């Protein structure tokens, strides 16, 4: 039996609800795959600030570093928006990513046939979409120095080193080798010197992957092409701020932000989370969609623990549950045979996992 220690960060808003359902599904798959997961829960975000005065307590950092992987829900909410920047929930998440050294954010986007009408994009444009965004996560304008704000002026600095670009490019090309062997690198090299270095470095890395076709696209055109013809993309390689924007745009291709997972890897311990926020407006109502978190748990099994069979089992179960017409409220208008609460859909997926 393979045994692993998993750090659990439920977070704020709907975070506890969706993480609980992911754990339910993980327990189901572990019983079928001869895996044992031990969970240890830690605080981060607004709830951590309320308890400790710090959105990322040292205990959380230490516990996460000692784990085999981290499953995370969501953080933030209006309650904490008035805090100083370094005390806000989002600052805790940025610091945790930096502490862990997870420089690569992986965001798969595909379209379930049963939900092709859920997107605002025409079905004929969506069918067959299967793309993979590789976003650099610990550099760029979010972390660059100097940065300053006063009453009359504010500025941030976009900085990338050659080594930072090289290591994220390697992740993208390695990913492409397991897929359709195409990388589209997104930049703004016609305007930004940072992007010129980005493009030059990506082209150098490409020489080590002769089987992979490399193309370049300016970020503004990429934003347009994502809704015009998303099927053209296999692996999209982007910097931090461009990737933040484009991956959220890509999420709407699926029809609901509640469906898509993500992984932050590259350091010793990976962080796995849904791409959506904490949605405090629906917290406690039992209507949140836990599928993105459940699929993030599948990514955790695959990318952090090497448990491919268990990850496949969860992904197949989710696909079958959707095919059979089970929906949460956000998807109730699209082929729903039964509209389920958060806990109901989690239990149904766990049951399907056990049957596959």
Instruction: Look at residues 279, 312, 280, 260 and name the one whose alpha carbon lies nearest to residue 105.
Output: 260
SS3 at position 21: helix
Find the catalytic residue in 20, 65, 68, 142. 142
| CB 257, CB 328: distance < 8 Å | no
End-to-end CA distance of the chain: 20
Is 142 among the residues known to form the active site?
yes
Instruction: Look at residues 353, 345, 322, 330 and name the one whose alpha carbon lies nearest to residue 21.
Output: 345
Q: How far is it, in rounded angstroms, from Cα 64 to Cα 268? A: 10
- Cα 10 to chain centroid, rounded: 15
Find the catalytic residue in 50, 208, 220, 324. 220
Looking up tokens 């000692």 gives 66
Buried b (16+ CB within 10 A) or exposed e, 163-181: ebbebbbbbbbebbeeeee
Is 113 among the residues known to form the active site?
no
Find the catalytic residue in 27, 68, 244, 312. 244
Cα dihedral: 295, 9, 351, 33 (round 10): 80
Is 268 among the residues known to form the active site?
no
Q: Return the sign of the alpha-carbon dihedral for residues 229, 112, 255, 23.
A: negative
Is 248 among the residues known to form the active site?
yes
Find the catalytic residue in 188, 209, 334, 352. 188
Is 4 among the residues known to form the active site?
no
* Active-site residue set: 142, 188, 220, 244, 248
């Amino acid at each position: 039996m393979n045994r692993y220690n998993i750090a659990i960060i439920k977070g704020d808003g709907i975070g506890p609800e969706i993480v609980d359902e992911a754990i339910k599904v993980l327990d189901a798959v572990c019983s079928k795959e001869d895996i044992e997961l031990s969970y240890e829960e830690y605080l981060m975000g607004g709830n951590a600030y309320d308890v400790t005065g710090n959105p990322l307590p040292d205990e959380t950092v230490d516990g996460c570093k000692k784990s085999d992987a981290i499953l995370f829900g969501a953080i933030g909410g209006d309650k904490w928006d008035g805090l100083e920047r370094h005390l806000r929930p989002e600052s805790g998440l940025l610091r945790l990513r930096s502490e862990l050294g997870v420089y690569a954010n992986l965001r798969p986007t595909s379209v379930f046939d049963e939900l092709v009408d859920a997107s605002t994009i025409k079905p004929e444009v969506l069918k067959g979409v299967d793309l993979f965004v590789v976003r650099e996560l610990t550099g760029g304008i979010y972390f660059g120095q100097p940065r300053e704000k006063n009453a009359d002026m504010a500025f941030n600095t976009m900085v990338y080193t050659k080594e930072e670009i090289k290591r994220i490019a390697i992740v993208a090309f390695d990913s492409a080798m397991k897929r359709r062997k195409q990388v589209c690198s997104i930049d703004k090299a016609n305007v930004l010197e940072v992007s010129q270095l980005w493009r030059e470095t990506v082209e150098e890395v490409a020489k080590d992957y002769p089987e992979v076709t490399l193309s370049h696209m300016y970020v503004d055109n990429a934003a347009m092409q994502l809704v015009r013809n998303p099927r053209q993309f296999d692996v999209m390689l982007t910097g931090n701020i461009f990737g933040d924007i484009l991956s959220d745009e890509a999420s709407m291709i699926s029809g609901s932000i509640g469906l898509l997972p993500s992984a932050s890897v590259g350091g010793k311990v990976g962080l796995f989370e849904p791409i959506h926020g904490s949605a405090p407006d629906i917290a406690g109502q039992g209507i949140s969609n836990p599928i993105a978190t459940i699929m993030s748990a599948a990514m955790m099994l695959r990318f952090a623990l090497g448990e491919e069979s268990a990850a496949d089992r969860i992904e197949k179960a989710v696909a079958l549950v959707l095919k059979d017409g089970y929906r949460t409220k956000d998807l109730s208008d699209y082929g729903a045979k039964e509209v389920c609460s958060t806990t109901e859909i989690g239990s149904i997926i766990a049951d399907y996992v056990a049957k596959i």
